[in-house]
Amino acid sequence: MKQIKVLVSSCKCNQKFASLVEQVVKDNGIDAQVERVSDMMEIMQHDVMSLPALVVDGKVVAKGAKNEAELLAILK
């Protein structure tokens, strides 16, 4: 099972991105646990300076908002 962390702020666009990640995982039957992370100290541990960002199994795989097709390519 993949461990996916969606690094986000509280802004509406970041929350929308997190919801999209959760939807892509669900709709495509990806075996993963998705967690939203908004704690700045934890975000800084991933050396990310811009949000949103996507971390899969401890590795930053995307920075900035992505569309559904881009997320599917990253997560498959």
SS3 38: coil
Q: Tens place of pLDDT for every residue, the chain, 76 residues?
A: 999 999 999 999 999 999 999 999 999 999 999 999 999 999 999 999 899 999 999 999 999 999 999 999 999 8
The pTM of this model reads 0.93
Distances (CA, A) of 60 to 6, 13, 29, 47: 10, 19, 22, 9
Residue ranges and CATH numbers for the domains of the chain are 2-75 (3.40.30.10)
Q: Which pair of structure tokens corresponds to residue 17?
A: 């991105």
